[in-house]
Structure 1
Amino acid sequence: MDTLVIVVIITALAFDFTNGFHDTANAMATSIATKALRPRVAVAISAVLNLAGAFLSVQVAKTISSGLVDDAKITPAVIFGGLVGAILWNLLTWLVGLPSSSSHALFGGLIGATWIAAGGDAVNFATVVTKVIIPAIASPLIAGVVAATGTFLLYNITRRAAKGKVRAGFRHGQVVSASLVSLAHGANDAQKTMGVITLVLITAGVLGADSGPPLWVIFTSGLAIALGTYFGGWRIIRTVGHRLTKIEPQQGFAAETSAATVILASSNLGYPLSTTQVTSGAVIGSGVGKKLSEVKWGVAGRIAIAWGLTLPAAAAIGALAGRVAISGTAGVIIVAAVLVALAATFYLLSRRNKVDRHNVNDEPVASPKSKSKPSVASRYAR
């Protein structure tokens, strides 16, 4: 393998890492919010199960490596540009605490970079519509309806039981349901990086067309997403666990179980779902199932806007990065330098309003001495 291929593989694993900490909330936000699991224990369990889930299936990986774009018309530099678009969008939405879709960031980045480098004919739009757009619309709605129904039934079934025993019982149940979501997340999201690395190897001539991911690709992809998960995307955990609706153990159990069911079923069918959208839809559904007015629709609306912006925004960034990267070695170096500089900037900005395992369940308190407008990050996180 030449140097560029190695650089792109490393970048793909870096995206996988950001996918892990960006999407930790998918599995563990509700369990942390209800105190069913301590924050550090929750992310540790999630990390292990993400790694295990990576070995369950390769159908999603094949969709990405052989169905999304025409591998005969692109180069590793194009894929590098797409990955940069996905990573930067992940970091930006993490900074402001928005549970946007890492999956759609990846798809958008690849589509934008491919389109600018090889034209629209190199993008398989039929696959994009049937396996990305339609599932993106349907999956959170399905998960929301299932979670709403489940929550309604659970509250009615247990309404005469002692509240303390009910809450304790469902907290134990959440350990199982959250673990299932973590397993499902590894089965679906780790495969996306597997598919990208396989696509790189195909375009570089290392693997034949329509090849599946080798074992080392499966393992490294699973390990990267597991490490990212362990670091914990605390900002997004706070948003999903507290800002959408007040979560009780019954709701958390219903939301997690419905999300896991939808994600695992879709993984076996080769649909690269946004686990973020599925989980957020399930959390909103659990609020609707308990009491419609308890859903914070303003926050839900901002999240929905981010969902709509993710694919085109990542596509625009990916197109720009891809256009520079395909110009040659100097272009790749420039794009890599910009990526590192912006990533460092986002990290330093995050330190101004630090969210970690110690304060993830705390509500932010406005300073009485300051009447200035809240920062972008705090506005979105509320």
Structure 2
Amino acid sequence: MRRFSTYGVAIATCGLILSACGTAADKDTDDDKAAECEPVQIEGDAKVGLAYDVGGRGDQSFNDSAYAGLEKATTEFGVEFTEGEAAQDESEDVREERLRNFADQGYNTIVGVGFAYSAAVDTVAPEYPNVAFAVIDGFDPTEDDVNCNVAYLGFAEQEGSFLVGAAAALQSETGTIGFVGGVNNTLIQKFEAGYRAGAEAVNPDITVLTKYIEEKDTKGFQDPAGGQAAAEAQYADGADIVFHAAGASGTGVFDAAVAADKWAIGVDSDQFLTAGPEQAPHILTSMLKRVDTATYEFIKSAVNGEPDQGFTTFTLADEGVGYSTSGDFLTPDTIAQLEDFKAQIIAGDIKVPDTVE
């Protein structure tokens, strides 16, 4: 089914409990634009082009999750596919050319993995009206026109991060926890905001240390040494649990956890399952961001002849985000409290902020 749901953000000054701030439902401008769109008519069977973000397949995080969705769709539907790797510091022109090459080769269902593809997709999509495009973490950079053949697939990262923040506070023995972000942008700030909110819901006096590897440069998502240095400093300052939202740089956070004999929290996929044998025993939980689900559902919609369009946000309510329990490191009491928080968020009793006040 084609979806036209809204990808909105909460106001920065929102409170945590029973907030009266605006939500996604208040933002209807893009829905109005999308409603004017005709269904996308791709030509022939769905053929998928998957354009990876920096780090590519093998990052044990964001890109690997997208590939898992592609792999599921390939197994289930037998779709033909191709993949494209991104280089560090590549220009917008290079991303645009990658997308054009896919389309020119007959791939009519194209997914850009990561917000960095938003502008490139919005430039290229009008040139190929019979190709269905999607952007994971996508936004409409023009703010004027929603391309009718683009699905902008977002997530309520703050909701899943709230739960792992609560888990950290519940199981911290020092009352100090850490957060390491890859790049200091609005997307990664959503992870920090939710993490802080969840921790403070459990312990209002908890200390949350924060470090962003890079302020703007996306190489912060592919800098394990930078991730390790950031986490080492936080462990030295008393943190006993550090959550990363740093892509492939997270492997450095895990190495720091091993060296300090402390806990780390993974991101995007269940990183306990993909970490090395020394790292896995130090991964308390992971904030699950179901990029695999978003990728699979988009491909499925194209296979069914009705490619998704417009803005979609995957939330706790539809299991678009969540937390992992692999390793059995979360205590039964912690899980019970997390499930209670989850129910309150889904019911709307807790409004999780997506910016740090």
TM-score range normalised by the length of the shorter chain:
0.3 to 0.5
Task: Name which structure has the greater RCO, CA cutoff 8 Å, separation 6+.
Answer: 1
Task: Compute the TM-score of the two structures, normalised by the length of structure 1.
Answer: 0.31
Greater strand share, structure number:
2
> Which structure has greater helix proportion?
1
The TM-score, its normalising length taken from structure 2, stands at: 0.32
